[in-house]
Structure 1
């Protein structure tokens, strides 16, 4: 029995023989040249004719679908290397008021748990303290002004 290295070497030799490889395997190897030819303006029919003259023997429909499948499997992004230096992130705390710094005359945004409010109702109740409802509809604003004057 042969050792693993000899078997691997024989497999690599056979993998390089075009008649031993599948059509999609050969196209996968030729993909950069095919893509460059397409980018240069050659049609798929011209490219396939050249490949067929070199012994590929493929129809245009199977050529297109095989190219599609190979492109779908090809990774589109290059993994980025890890940064050489360690990066530490510190949160920005400027402008944030801690509860201990809150002024005594300002109402706290605390709603009792006993209110049995849903999270949405709780948010709306807090927002009502700070937001005054106004309409952006100019006609409605004019109508409301007339109502208040009368």
Structure 2
């Protein structure tokens, strides 16, 4: 009996430890769940609108960061194009999660683009909150929060260089 309890405790500890990082299993799971959430066609536009609505609900001042792309009118062609660019970039890096060398190269490229804009890493925290609300809203109870959190942190750290995502 004591051996079974120890074994269960050990297995639980291993499960918690493996969920706390963005390992191979977590990367594949995030990719699969992303493909389901991001979907195709018109659903991608709806997903993007939901994500950015969540971003602006969590942090209304964030809208000012995107004045140059007409963030006051989320239906404007400029802002819709911005949504498409951002989510397209996210789609690209999520698709590379299981190819670390390519992922690291792309994150380095994105870092150089974001560094030149002097973006506060705290904005990536808001993006994370919005993403963690939007994706489960599409895929439901199968959403793996620990896997998403760990893998998003890999992406955000790669783009920002900030230790808040370590």
TM superposition score normalised by structure 1: 0.27
With a CA cutoff of 8 Å and minimum separation of 6, indicate the structure with the bigger relative contact order. Answer: 2
Which has the larger Rg? 1
TM superposition score normalised by structure 2: 0.25
